[in-house]
Amino acid sequence: MKKLSLAIATCMLAGCGSDKESISEVPTLQSCEIAAQNQYVYDVMKDSYLWADQVPRLNPKNYDSPQALLNDITENIPLDIWSTIFDSEAVFDGRSYYGYGFNWYYADETQETMVLHFVYENSPADEAGLSRSQLIYQINGQPVSQFESIEDISNELDSAEQATFTFADANGEFYDVTLDKDTVTTPPVLASKVINVEGIKYGYLAYNLRNEIQRSELSNIFESFESESVDEIILDLRYSWGGYVDYAIYPASLIGGENVDGEVFAMYRHSDKYADRDWGMGFEGTSTIGYDKLTVITSSDTCGAGEVLINALSPFIDVQTVGDTSCGDPYGSYGYSLCEGLTFIPIEFRFANANDFSDFTEGFSPQCDAQDDTSKALGDETEDMLNAAITYTRTGQCPEAPSGSPKRSSINKKPKQI
């Protein structure tokens, strides 16, 4: 099964963030007829696709859509769970969306409640006083347990401009919150602080590489880390599902500092046919001294640009990960326009680091396993993932797994943006 949702947020955004033009020699699409679009997709797959030599001989006219053709081509190419076709407008604007302003998922395996993973500042949910860790029991008067799936819940919410959510207060009394949809801005920085543990200072940064940040904002954060004599960085990428690789270069450069000055950040590696188009992106020069050690908090949703950042820094500083295994996406695409606002994303290259390593299709396995404890705020040092990061980097040992009842993180899935 293809990771369509992640492909939208990762592999295509990884490559399309580049200012490099397409390498394909296939002529631009001239007609919006299905037959013409099918032929175009097939020709690109036979040309610049990373596994072009594995594309079977097919008749594009036999398919009723470009997506059906693409599915048939990639079905027997195990490494390609990413190539896809999607609505361009729905994906490329990662900075804002129209909705209520929170991420959520089932609180546990009973699927009787939803838990808020994150509430965006100044969103309808934020203005109503909602926050991470709150549980939702009903949606528009219907118990969560009566919905067959989270997709059904999404369909319920997509169909209207307003929704009512039922919560419970500290005394167990239920109350309703009615929200109206509005434009929600999703910030790249989710949290940042300095944590002092027995004299060792950690600069903690929860970051989403899907969104571009003003450089001054990121520079100010690292300047504050330096002014407070931070010893190590803990970079929290648990919610960084995708992003432009271009957006990863500057934070990686600030972290690496003098250790990466003048070095290669990532190299584009194409198929043998286009090997002469391989090129490398360098780290950027910064005024920071940098850090020799980085601990990254990852989840199964840490994808694309976040993984490229981990891989890029690994040859130059000590990089370790805690949390869950990342998704495993070293690939990118230049992207091709089809008709009716659709974009065709064939995998055309892989991102390699300065040591030419790009074999992380199985994801980066953590040194310590930990789950997202949504009962605690991001940046709370007792939260399971952050506690694991601090404990491991301090002692080289993983913290003992908490005993007792399962935490709300027992379902380790990507939270849905609503």
Closest CA to 300 of 242, 249, 234, 233: 242
Both 53 and 109 in a single domain?
no
Which of 54, 77, 92 is a domain's end point? Answer: 92
Q: Examine the domain organization and report whether 169 and 79 are in the same domain.
A: no
Residue 404 in any domain: the answer is: no
Q: Which of 185, 200, 229 is the last residue of a domain?
A: 185
Classify residue 357: in a domain, yes or no.
yes
Exposed / middle / buried, residue 207 (Cβ in 10 Å: 0-12, 13-18, 19+): buried
Sheet harboring 336-337: ordered strands across? 84-87, 342-345, 336-337
Question: CB pairs under 8 A, 24+ apart, for 277-281?
Answer: 277/23, 279/20, 281/245, 281/249
Cα–Cα distance for residue pair 402/384, rounded to 1 Å? 9
pTM for the predicted model, two decimal places: 0.88
Task: State both tokens at 39.
Answer: 């032929």
Work out whether the CA dihedral 208, 212, 213, 219 comes out positive or negative. Answer: positive
Is position 411 within any domain? no
One digit per residue, pLDDT tens: the chain, 418 residues? Answer: 444 433 333 444 444 444 456 788 899 999 999 999 999 999 999 999 999 999 999 999 999 999 999 999 999 899 999 999 988 765 545 578 899 999 898 988 899 999 999 899 999 999 999 999 999 999 999 999 999 998 899 889 988 999 999 999 989 999 999 999 999 988 889 999 999 999 999 999 999 887 777 788 999 999 999 999 999 999 999 998 777 888 999 999 999 999 999 999 999 999 999 999 999 999 998 888 899 999 999 999 899 999 999 999 999 999 999 999 999 999 999 999 999 999 999 999 999 999 999 999 999 999 999 999 999 999 999 999 999 999 999 999 999 876 543 444 434 466 778 8
Q: Is residue 296 part of a domain?
A: yes
User: 228, 162, 239, 206: which is closest to 381 by C-alpha?
Assistant: 206
Structure tokens at 134: 């709150």
Give the total number of structural domains in the chain. Answer: 3
Same domain, yes or no, for 109 and 217? no
Q: Looking at the structure, do residues 244 and 380 belong to the same domain, yes or no?
A: yes
User: What CATH number has the domain bearing residue 180?
Assistant: 2.30.42.10
Alpha helices, DSSP H, located in 194-339:
215-227, 245-256, 305-313
Name the residue with tokens 């952050």.
Answer: 386
Say if residue 112 is in the same domain as residue 177.
Answer: yes
- Amino acid (1-letter code) at residue 264: V
* Distance of alpha carbon 335 from alpha carbon 343, whole angstroms: 6
Q: Are 376 and 279 in contact (CB under 8 A)?
A: no
d(CA 236, CA 298): 7
- 384 lies in the same domain as 301: yes
Strand partners, 336: 344
Residue 413 lies in a domain: no
Confidence (pLDDT) at 243: 75
Examine residue 335 and state whether it is found in any structural domain, yes or no: no
pLDDT of residue 16: 40
Instruction: Say if CB 332 and CB 347 are below 8 A apart.
Output: yes
Question: How crowded is residue 87: how many other Cβ atoms within 10 Å of its Cβ?
Answer: 12
Name the domain boundary from 92, 127, 148. 92
Residue located via tokens 């347990």: 145
CB 73 within 8 A of CB 80: no
> In Å, what is the CA distance from 205 to each residue of 210, 218, 224, 285, 297?
15, 10, 12, 21, 10
Does a structural domain hold residue 282? Answer: yes
Q: Is residue 134 domain-resident?
A: yes
Domain of 154 in residue numbering reads as 98-185
| 262 and 125, same domain (yes or no) | no
What's the rounded Cα separation, in Å, for the pair 239 and 117?
A: 9
Long-range contacts of 39-46 (CB under 8 A, 24+ apart): 40/66, 40/336, 40/338, 40/344, 41/66, 41/69, 41/70, 41/85, 41/338, 41/344, 41/346, 42/69, 42/73, 44/336, 44/344, 44/346, 45/70, 45/73, 45/346
Whether 334 and 21 have beta carbons less than 8 Å apart is answered as yes
Q: Which residues contact 222 (CB under 8 A, 6 or more apart)?
A: 203, 254, 288
Counting Cα atoms < 13 Å in the Cβ hemisphere of 21 gives: 3
